[in-house]
Every structure is written in structure tokens, then in C-alpha cells.
């Protein structure tokens, strides 16, 4: 059983999360009885923590409005989670253009942690290596991210300034449905009322975002993450590829995620030389095709190329190279000379 001091601090953390907490809820979370909860509340009051008692059917305990506990109190697990998030954020694209914000925030947290815990966490961070280099991804402006998030929450239209990949700048109105972090980038998905279509925009290409009067009702249907993945899969590229692959959706997604490929179940194929179960139609777009033959080989499932013809040649060339390598025998080394 946890020590009373630790339990009292846990009680304070629960109260700081906001709202009214009933005695029954607190007792369940702390693993104690109601009488012990009341005793812990008394300890907090003795420490000048303004815990208020709320009477009535839905009564319980809460902290006085506006109260902030100045010391930072984190368990080992919580401190590690916070610091890992601050360190990993810039290396995975989940950061803003305030390059030093994560670094300075981590330094502040480490300064107020107990020396033993700070030293242990320091060894973890020193030993940790990332395969992705920092600064790899475009980061959004903090003001833009916060403004868009607020508009998403309150269903308010926005005026934004946007720069496309080819450098064209425009000012447009957006009804934002949601924010999505995907593969190291931030996206906002929403409707452009001027053209009456949904748009998926990169947040780092928005230079200004201003909330407009009024509100809108988000549409039913796919959630923001699915909308972004679908938009990325349908984005225009040099090649449009259509395949039939005999596999399950789960097998396919290990190599062709939803952001790359659109998958549709098919009835039994007409080809007499192919058996009749589990065929999927796969559509994707790509600027290059050279990465696709190794992906198809790694799936190790029967497939049919419908288009483009260039892909057939690349697959055949890969098969020839693999066959040549498989038949190659290491020459014997003459050690008599």
C-alpha cells in the first residue's frame, strides 16, 4: 500500500485536474475508504491548500477556483513521459517554429525535479538515439496552431493565408474540422466554402490565421484523421497505379498504409489461373515507381498489375536481379599460391 504522504499528493493531483470529485470516486482512485479520504483532505487543508466541500447529491471536494499549486510534482513515470515527449517532439515533426521551446521547457522541468530523479532521467536522455534527424520536418507557427485549434473546437470559420508547394500564395476562408498529426507533419482538414469542397492543408504553409464571425456545423462521416489519409492517398502525382492483390487488408496495410493506397474489396477475379478468394483492388499515386516492386515482393502475395505498363518492366527487372543473385555461387579461393 502506498505511503500516506504519497496518497495525499495523489489526492491533490486528482483535485487539480478540475471539477468536483465525489468521496466515492476519490476512495476508488486512491484505494482507501471514505473516512481516509476525509482525513487526507484535512491534511491538505492543514497545508493551506484551499479544498472546498460541495454539499448535495452530486457534491464532493474541489479546489478553490483560480488556485495553482506552485511546485512541480511528478512521479518517475510522469517525469520520464514529459521529458521524452519534449525531446522526441522536434525529432518527429510534432513541434512548432519556436525551435528552442522544447529545449527550454525540458531544462526548466529538470531544474525543479529532485536531484536523484533528474540524474536518472538524464542518463536515459543521454543514452537515447533517434534514427530521424532533428529539423527534418516543416513546423507550424505557434500562433497559427493555437488559432486553428480554437476554431476547430468552437466550429468557427477562419481566414488564412496559404502558400502552396509551388510557391503560389492565396488568402482563403476555411471551415476547419480537425487537426491531424501524420508522419511528422501537421494538417488541418476542413471545407472551403468558396469552392464547396473539402481541403487538407499543411499547417506549416499557413502564415496567418484569423477567426471570423459566425459558426458552422461539421459534417457527419469520416473523422478528421480519415479525411487527411484519404486526401493524401488521392493527391495528384505523376503515376496512377492500379493493382489487384490477393491478401487481407491487414496484410496489405503493413506495406501500403492508408495515406498511400486506397483499398477496395473485389469479387472473385475472372482469371482462370488465379484462385478465387481474398482479392483486393489497390489504387495509389506516386512520383516514382522504383520503390513499388520491392514492396510487392515483400508482401509475398499474388498480384496483377492493371496499370501502368512501366511497372511491369520494373517488376520483371527486379525478379531477374533476384534470380541472378540467388543463382550466384561464391567462387572458391585458391589458397595454394
Q: Say which CATH topology domain 4-63 has.
A: Arc Repressor Mutant, subunit A (1.10.10)
202 vs 189: CA distance, rounded Å:
9
Q: Give the pLDDT confidence of 194-205 residue by residue, as tens digits.
A: 888 888 888 888
Residue ranges of domains in the chain: 4-63, 76-127, 142-225, 239-325
Query: Which H or E run includes 63?
Result: strand 60-63
Q: Quick one: pLDDT at residue 260?
A: 82
289 vs 308: CA distance, rounded Å:
10
Cell 482563403, residue? 172
**Pick from 115-129, 205-219, 287-301: least confident:** 115-129
* Residue range 239-325, CATH number: 3.30.70
User: Phi-psi region for residue 218, left (φ > 0), alpha (ψ -120 to 50) or beta?
Assistant: beta
Maximum mean pLDDT: which of 101-115, 144-158, 226-240: 144-158
Q: Does 333 score more than 70 pLDDT? A: no
Q: Quick one: pLDDT at residue 305?
A: 94
Q: Does 214 score more than 60 pLDDT? A: yes
Mean pLDDT of 268-275: 50
Residue pair 179/224 in contact (Cβ under 8 Å)? The answer is yes
Mean pLDDT of 202-209: 88
DSSP secondary structure string, 135-196? T-S----HHHHHHHHHHHHHT--EEEEEE-TTS-EEEEEEEEEEEEEETTEEEEEEEETTTT
Mean pLDDT of 32-60: 88
Q: Does 273 score more than 50 pLDDT? A: no
**Pick from 25-29, 129-133, 199-203, 315-319: least confident:** 129-133
Per CATH, the architecture of 142-225 is what? Roll (2.30)
Amino acid at each position: 500500500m502506498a505511503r500516506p504522504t504519497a496518497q495525499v499528493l495523489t489526492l491533490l493531483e486528482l483535485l487539480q485536474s478540475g471539477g468536483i470529485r465525489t468521496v466515492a470516486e476519490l476512495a476508488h482512485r486512491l484505494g482507501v475508504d471514505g473516512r481516509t479520504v476525509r482525513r487526507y483532505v484535512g491534511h491538505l487543508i492543514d497545508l493551506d491548500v484551499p479544498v472546498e466541500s460541495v454539499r448535495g447529491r452530486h457534491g464532493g471536494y474541489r479546489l478553490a477556483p483560480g488556485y495553482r499549486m506552485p511546485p512541480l510534482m511528478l512521479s518517475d513515470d510522469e517525469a520520464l513521459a514529459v521529458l521524452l515527449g519534449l525531446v522526441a517532439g522536434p525529432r518527429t515533426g510534432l513541434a512548432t517554429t519556436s525551435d528552442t521551446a522544447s529545449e527550454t521547457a525540458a531544462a526548466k522541468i529538470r531544474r525543479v525535479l529532485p536531484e536523484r530523479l533528474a540524474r536518472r532521467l538524464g542518463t536515459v536522455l543521454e543514452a537515447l538515439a533517434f534514427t530521424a534527424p532533428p529539423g527534418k520536418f516543416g513546423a507550424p507557427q505557434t500562433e497559427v496552431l493555437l488559432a486553428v485549434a480554437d476554431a476547430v473546437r468552437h466550429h468557427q470559420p477562419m481566414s488564412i493565408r496559404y502558400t502552396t508547394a509551388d510557391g503560389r500564395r492565396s488568402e482563403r476562408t476555411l471551415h476547419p474540422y480537425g487537426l491531424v498529426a501524420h508522419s511528422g507533419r501537421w494538417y488541418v482538414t476542413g471545407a472551403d466554402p468558396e469552392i464547396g469542397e473539402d481541403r487538407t492543408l499543411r499547417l506549416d504553409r499557413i502564415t496567418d490565421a484569423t477567426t471570423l464571425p459566425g459558426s458552422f456545423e461539421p459534417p457527419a462521416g469520416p473523422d478528421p484523421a480519415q479525411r487527411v489519409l484519404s486526401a493524401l492517398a488521392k493527391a495528384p502525382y505523376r503515376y496512377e497505379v492500379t493493382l489487384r492483390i490477393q491478401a487481407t487488408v491487414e496484410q496489405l496495410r503493413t506495406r501500403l498504409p492508408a495515406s498511400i493506397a486506397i483499398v477496395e474489396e473485389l469479387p472473385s477475379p475472372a482469371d482462370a489461373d488465379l484462385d478465387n478468394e481474398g482479392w483486393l483492388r489497390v489504387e495509389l499515386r506516386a512520383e516514382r515507381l522504383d520503390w513499388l516492386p520491392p514492396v510487392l515482393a515483400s508482401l509475398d502475395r499474388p498480384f496483377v498489375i492493371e496499370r501502368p505498363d512501366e511497372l511491369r518492366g520494373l517488376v520483371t527487372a527486379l525478379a531477374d536481379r533476384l534470380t541472378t543473385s540467388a543463382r550466384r555461387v561464391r567462387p572458391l579461393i585458391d589458397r595454394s599460391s
